[in-house]
Chains A and B, each alone.
Chain A
């Protein structure tokens, strides 16, 4: 009966997402009253998402895996911990300050971020430095849209990001063994690249806390840790900014951290990956398969040296 309603929903392929959407719409249809409080607790929906030519058609990683298998060290170093410990993470009110070398530095509240541009669905591969991967239907718009708002100056050669950090809200953080607040960075051309997403949702709803609510970035050709979560501050800077994992362990994590099967991490071979939900490993692709779009950014660079 539940599934019967799915006809009027979206695309026709049978994916976990369709089942998911059908349930969401069903609840939204006013029949939701009959359903337990647990289901109603679900995150706010994002309506009318546009499609994107950048989306892959690969099979989606199920919603449950995307939202229960996370690296978000502010909420604990175990994969299952963010889903448990981020439950009550307060993301309202939320602001993101965009500052540094900009003509019009400015602080955005979340509503203005949500209203800045049409939000589209971007189905990206996500490759973790630990050797596993997922396919996730993110929702957002290019980061460049936000950055252009503040009119970057020519001195702005890099973009430094900083996550929100509050040890009261994140009591697990101090056991994680890395410094906080979490910081990340991109070169300006990487940040302005159309694939680089300012992300506010996944699976057609606003970001669950454990996935980096309420706003994060997604850089699909780099290892997952480059895609910083729960962003509080963005700064346009002149020099290459520090990044957390490099501070924690410089030998193992570099500033660029482009997905590259030929450059091994000292602890893991990066030649292969296990797609979550699959049994056999698959070959890892250079730039996570986005080489056509991004390899020109690194023309002439020694990718082993700039790992």
Chain B
């Protein structure tokens, strides 16, 4: 590689670290966009199956929940693996969870209901699984909106953290949404629910352990 202009080893290590972080972030970006890219690719090739709208709804819903759980796994993982840098991916992953949640919501509004607002309002009020999903999504909105450094400063770290704990509630409602929407085969929602429970327990158990 090209020598760093400052030629100072400490600075070079720092800048190598920054480069590695930039590279890692790029990788996370690419990975997180893969499910969306796959959907678009399959869409063009007409490989979304006999009911494409259902396929898109399921894929975006699945990835919202998976990314929420991955986001929640960061904090315990960084302690267990003693890898504090992991924390720098958390916000990005959380925003991608929101991104898929937004796509899921758009799929519902545009493709599933086709802007039939009375029908959607009825759905939200009458069908518990939609009520839970919608609430889960609403909870993500303020988190996404306050995800910037500016907002952390404005709210203060402590209050910001408290607000962002809502992500647990959002994930729990996401699991409930899934549990209520399956007809009889509850394996997947129970699986995600177990992961969420494990993450919550890990959080409580590791509460006192500082990140090294």
Residues of A within 8 A of B (CB): 62, 64-65, 68-69, 73, 77, 79-80, 130, 132, 175-178, 248-249, 264, 266-269, 271-272, 274, 276-277, 279-281
Contacts and interface: CB of A to CB of B under 8 A. Distances in A.
B50 A177 contact: no
Contacts of A267: 127, 129, 180-181
A80 B114 CA distance: 26
Given A69-B51, A132-B51, A280-B114, A266 B186 contact: no
A274 B53 contact: yes
A178 B183 CA distance: 9
Interface string B41-57: 00000000111011000
B131 to A, nearest CB: 11
Contact of B50 (A69, A73, A266): A69
Nearest to A265: B127
Of the listed residues B49, B114, B123, the one surrounded by the most CB atoms of chain A closer than 10 A to its CB is B49
B9 interface: no
Given A132-B51, A267-B181, 17 more contacts: A64-B50, A68-B50, A69-B51, A77-B182, A79-B51, A175-B187, A176-B184, A176-B185, A177-B184, A177-B186, A178-B184, A249-B183, A266-B128, A267-B127, A268-B127, A269-B119, A276-B51
Contacts of A80: 49
Contacts of B182: 77
B122 interface: yes
Contact of A269 (B50, B122, B129): B122
B50 A248 contact: no
A276 B180 CA distance: 24
Contacts, number: 53
Interface in B94-140: 114, 119, 122-123, 126-129
Contacts of A279: 53
Nearest to B114: A280
A77 B183 contact: yes
Contacts of A178: 184
B136 to A, nearest CB: 17
Contacts of B53: 274, 279
Interface string B23-46: 000000000000000000000000
A277 B123 CA distance: 24
Contacts of A77: 182-185
B92 to A, nearest CB: 32
Contacts of B185: 77, 175-177
Contacts of B51: 69, 79, 132, 274, 276
